């Protein structure tokens, strides 16, 4: 009388009278995935920002900057209204080389203008950096791109977004806008301010 060979390692032979498991569960009689193996129906994780096709192009980035710039101008509207609607005075002025009397804003109007403008700039900067720190400004949402850390694809955070806007933008624009144009030929489509803070802009 011969003895049947033992089942292969990792298999689970069906038992007599045992009902078959529902679809999607390990089936008796077939090798089960061991440690380090991927279960059937699953795929290995793919890095989302590893291919050149994922990087945002110059046109999309420029479009987002234009939209964000137009939105930032709205925060200056109260200051502009204040300077035109505020108190005025009659003062000496020169027009086309002739001395005349002109109606000009008073010191109080200029002070109100400066105060409202400062509030508008700070308000926009806070909103912009918080949104950019999470991945997208309003302009980026409009053109379907986002900004992430180049190292791990995570959001850059509000602090790094603030540094990118206040400090790194100056570096990119200081030499004939060369830092902004750098993304046209850079392998990761990075500008100089991207390189300074370690960020990349990708398709959302």
Question: Measured between alpha carbons, how far is 173 from 170 in angstroms, rounded to an integer?
Answer: 5
Residue 138: count of CB within 10 angstroms of its CB: 16
Q: Smallest Cα–Cα separation from 82: which of 54, 106, 102?
A: 106
Tell me how far CA of residue 144 lies from CA of 5, 43, 74, 131, in angstroms: 60, 26, 22, 14
Mean residue pLDDT across the chain:
82
pLDDT at 82 (0 to 100):
92
The model's pTM: 0.68
pLDDT at 46 (0 to 100):
46
DSSP assignment of 91-104, as one string? EEEEETTEEEEEEE
pLDDT higher than threshold 50 for residue 88: yes
pLDDT at 49 (0 to 100):
44
pLDDT at 188 (0 to 100):
92
pLDDT higher than threshold 80 for residue 196: yes
- Give 145-187 pLDDT, tens digit per residue: 999 999 999 999 999 999 998 888 888 888 888 989 999 999 9
- Give 41-71 pLDDT, tens digit per residue: 544 434 444 444 489 999 999 999 999 999 9
Confirm if 57 and 76 have CB atoms less than 8 A apart: no
């Amino acid at each position: 009388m011969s003895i049947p060979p033992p089942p292969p390692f990792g298999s689970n032979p069906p038992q007599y009278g045992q009902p078959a498991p529902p679809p999607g569960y390990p089936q008796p009689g077939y090798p089960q995935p061991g440690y380090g193996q991927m279960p059937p129906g699953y795929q290995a994780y793919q890095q989302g920002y590893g291919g050149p096709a994922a990087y945002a192009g110059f046109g999309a980035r420029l479009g987002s900057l234009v939209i964000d710039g137009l939105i930032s101008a709205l925060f200056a509207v109260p200051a502009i209204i204040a300077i035109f609607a505020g108190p005025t005075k009659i003062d000496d002025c020169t027009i086309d080389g002739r001395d005349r009397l002109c109606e000009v804003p008073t010191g109080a109007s200029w002070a109100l203008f400066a105060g409202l403008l400062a509030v508008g700039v700070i308000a926009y900067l806070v909103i912009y950096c918080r949104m950019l720190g999470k991945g997208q400004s309003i302009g980026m949402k409009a053109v379907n791109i986002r900004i992430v850390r180049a190292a791990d694809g995570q959001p850059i955070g509000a602090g790094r977004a603030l540094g990118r806007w206040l400090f790194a933008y100056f570096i990119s624009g200081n030499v004939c806008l060369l830092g902004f144009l750098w993304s046209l030929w850079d392998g990761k489509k990075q500008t100089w301010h991207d390189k300074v803070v370690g960020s990349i802009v990708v398709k959302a």
